[in-house]
Amino acid sequence: MNLFKYFREEIVAALGRLAEAGTLPGGLDTAKVTAEPPREEAHGDVATNAAMVLSKGAGLKPRDLAELLAAELRAHPAVVAVEVAGPGFINLRLAESFWAERLADVLKAGTNWGDGEPKGHRVNVEFVSANPTGPMHIGHARGAVVGDALASLLAKAGFDVTREYYINDAGAQVDVLARSAFLRYREALGEAIGDIPEGLYPGEYLKPVGEALAKAHGAAFKDSPEAEWLPAFRHYAVDAMMGMIREDLAALGVKHDVFTSERALVEAGRVDAALAFLEARDEIYTGVLEPPKGKVLDDWEPRPQVLFRATRFGDDVDRPLKKSDGSYTYFASDIAYHQDKFGRGFPDMIDIWGADHGGYVKRMQAAVRAVTEGQGSLDVKLCQMVNLLKGGQPYKMSKRAGTFVTLRDLVEAVGKDVVRFIMLTRKNDAHLDFDLDKVLEQSRDNPVFYVQYAHARCHSVLRHAADMWPTAPISGPALAAAPLARLTDPAELGLIKLLAGWPRLVESAAEAHEPHRVAFMLYDLAAAFHGLWNKGKDEARLRFLLEDDPDLSLARLALVRAVASVIASGLAVFGVEPVEEMR
């Protein structure tokens, strides 16, 4: 339960009662009424702006309306105090028993606490979509993690999520891949190939591909013209690269539900169909584009092109769909791809792109509007660069020096959980520093450690409790029945309030498509827990386990268990394994 949603409904209901009694005019628009946690703790637990946003319609001064509503809200059993403050805020303070009940809710729900109601609403998250021409590098890691965590977050919030990967296997770059593989094939047959020519992929990872092709075909294509071997080699190489990419993703703990091939779309005529669809609606014409200003293009010459009327849908200029040789642009097949996703039952699409593709957002959104006739929506999350550092200094990657370059190497160096967590500690569109030393540091300014440590400490307490009272019921559901009313210290109540706010955070982070908020919530929760722990150092009576007071200890164990459970639940959104012991 999102308690703020609950109180918003209670406030609206109270307004309804006032209207019924004739105190307020009927039919007030309550859409702008909010119930939120106040920033200042001193302002209570729930604050509403109702009096301020409704005063005009009600014909009352905000503070007068606030007093009326406050009187009505005082009757609520969970409310112990109501204050009218500032320009007309109404602040509610909630009973300790109310918080005890929320703690029991957390314990009963376990890691399902915070789950949204199933919405029966499908969302497609497309991410990674790295070109199938080589292993994943560090630049891909952020998009992979952000997409995967966003998908998990949406799933937790109650959406029916599909994780999708778009394989760009139709462009010129896969032909280059095929030629590169062909070279390795000749090499595997014993030919001296010398340096890899400019324009081909030089990576060693293509050697096994060449060897496999040599094994399969022998010398059959050794001296054949390109047309004879290219499609087969391309097919094999793309498959091999995708296999490698899937392994890289698996190392990072990422798994897609659907892989869609661009080539398959093209061969099935989907691009033709999409263009015909637009043609029929007069969204396509042949025209000449202006050269971009302020940028020197020596080879620019105006020429007629097949253009999409993107300007009709909010883009700055109309966009080309065909190259001068008559083949489709990337944009054209991407239109078909998004129309395909829409047709598969995803009106809501999210794409995760690198920030260098930022210039394509408008045109893609324009195309989605056109091709779904306004029924589909596309949100694009752009992931900024990751700056790799070591000890605060830029980390130069070099193959020769043995410093790593691939995603796999990064994961092997620091672990997948560290990579995943750190990638989510910034907004997707902000630059991110990834310090190879800091992320392994055991200190407060390493959020991964700090959060994991809080979780491990919780379990340490639970282990101690099991030693002290071997028969005590300390499972989550059992602890829901503990005497929770005995938790009265402000630090304890503060912790419960954080736990109780988890559903609201899940909901708003999911709605905003911002998984990084979970990282900050986890950090705050860990800080509050460590704070309470430290208080126990100074004040012995605040320790979790008191041999002479098993009842109170049980209540505190309930709190500890709940903290562990919410941390675990947040880490689950990130795909990070919560640890029970630090080593």
Partner RNA sequence: GCAGCCGUAGCUCAGCUGGAUAGAGCGCUGCCCUCCGAAGGCAGAGGUCGUAGGUUCGAAUCCUACCGGUUGCGCCA
Within 10 Å of residue 175's Cβ, how many Cβ atoms? 15
Cα separation, 498 vs 37, whole angstroms: 11
Tokens of 254: 């990422």
Q: Shortest approach of RNA to residue 295 CB, angstroms? A: 5
Cα separation, 210 vs 183, whole angstroms: 7
Tokens of 326: 């008559």
Q: Which of 23, 30, 131, 311 binds RNA (CB under 7 A)?
A: 131
**CA angle in degrees (0–180, nearest 5) for 207-213-217:** 150
Q: Which of 159, 233, 453, 574 binds RNA (CB under 7 A)?
A: 453
- Closer Cβ to RNA, 172 or 401, answer by number: 172
Residue pair 414/387 in contact (Cβ under 8 Å)? The answer is no
- Closer Cβ to RNA, 204 or 325, answer by number: 325
Residues of this chain, 177-236, that bind RNA according to CB under 7 A:
none
Q: Shortest approach of RNA to residue 50 CB, angstroms? A: 9
Give the amino acid at 325: D
Residues of this chain, 348-377, that bind RNA according to CB under 7 A:
355-362
The per-residue DSSP string of 407-451 comes to HHHHHHHH-HHHHHHHHTSS-TTS-EEEETTGGG--STT-HHHHH
CB-based contacts of 416, cutoff 8 Å, min separation 6: 251, 252, 253
**CA angle in degrees (0–180, nearest 5) for 285-289-290:** 155
Taking CB under 7 A as the rule, does residue 311 contact RNA? no
Cα 398 to the center of its chain, rounded Å: 31
- Closer Cβ to RNA, 96 or 580, answer by number: 580
- Closer Cβ to RNA, 224 or 442, answer by number: 442
Taking CB under 7 A as the rule, does residue 30 contact RNA? no
Q: Which of 411, 545, 552, 571 binds RNA (CB under 7 A)?
A: 545
Q: Which of 277, 395, 469, 520 binds RNA (CB under 7 A)?
A: 520
Q: What is the 3-state secondary structure (H, E, C) of 388-403?
A: EEECCEECCCCCCCCC
Q: What mask of x and - would describe binding to RNA in positions 260 to 299, judged by CB under 7 A?
A: --x--------------------------x--xxxx-x-x
Residue pair 414/440 in contact (Cβ under 8 Å)? The answer is yes
Give the amino acid at 552: L
* Size of interface with RNA, in residues (CB under 7 A): 98
Phi, psi of 322 (to 5 degrees): -135, 145
Q: Shortest approach of RNA to residue 335 CB, angstroms? A: 13
Q: Shortest approach of RNA to residue 473 CB, angstroms? A: 19
Q: What mask of x and - would describe binding to RNA in positions 416 to 445, judged by CB under 7 A?
A: ----------xx-xxxxx--------xxxx
Q: Which of 198, 303, 374, 401 binds RNA (CB under 7 A)?
A: 303
Residues of this chain, 456-515, that bind RNA according to CB under 7 A:
456-457, 460-461, 464, 504-505, 508, 511-514
Q: Shortest approach of RNA to residue 380 CB, angstroms? A: 9
Task: Choose the stretch contacting RNA; rule: CB under 7 A; options: 96-104, 165-173, 477-485, 566-574.
Answer: 165-173
364's enclosing H/E stretch is helix 361-371
Cα separation, 197 vs 22, whole angstroms: 85
- Closer Cβ to RNA, 277 or 520, answer by number: 520
Cα 560 to the center of its chain, rounded Å: 27
Residues of this chain, 382-401, that bind RNA according to CB under 7 A:
382, 384
Residues of this chain, 68-107, that bind RNA according to CB under 7 A:
85-89, 91
Q: Which of 1, 5, 9, 56 binds RNA (CB under 7 A)?
A: 56
- Closer Cβ to RNA, 282 or 301, answer by number: 301
